[in-house]
Amino acid sequence: MKVHIDSGRCQGHGRCYDLSPGVFGEDDEGYGRVLEGGLVAEGQEHAVRLAVSNCPERAIAVQQEV
C-alpha cells in the first residue's frame, strides 16, 4: 500500500499525522506530508485507513500495490 497527500487540498488539520504518525508528518507550516516515500509498513494499514477516513478535505489517496 502506498499513500499520497494532495497538497492543494490539504488544509493542515493534522488528523493524518495524529492518527498515523509513522506514515504522516507535518511540514514547517503544519500541513500534512507523507514520510518514507508513502510506503505503508505492515501493521500500519488500519491507522492509515483511519487517517484517510478522517481527513476533512479527502486529501489523502491510497494505492494498492500489485
- 16, 56 Cβ separation under 8 angstroms: no
**CATH code where residue 13 lies:** 3.30.70.20
Number of domains making up the chain: 1
The Cβ-side half-sphere exposure at 65, using a 13 Å CA radius, reads: 9
- At 66 the pLDDT is 60
- At 64 the pLDDT is 84
pTM: 0.89
Q: What is the C-alpha separation between 66 and 57, in angstroms, rounded?
A: 27
- At 65 the pLDDT is 72
**In terms of residue numbers, what domain contains 47?**
2-63
Q: Phi and psi dihedrals of 59, rounded to 5?
A: -90, -5
- At 2 the pLDDT is 95
Residue-level pLDDT, tens digit, the chain, 66 residues: 999 999 999 999 999 999 999 999 999 999 999 998 999 999 999 999 999 999 999 999 999 876
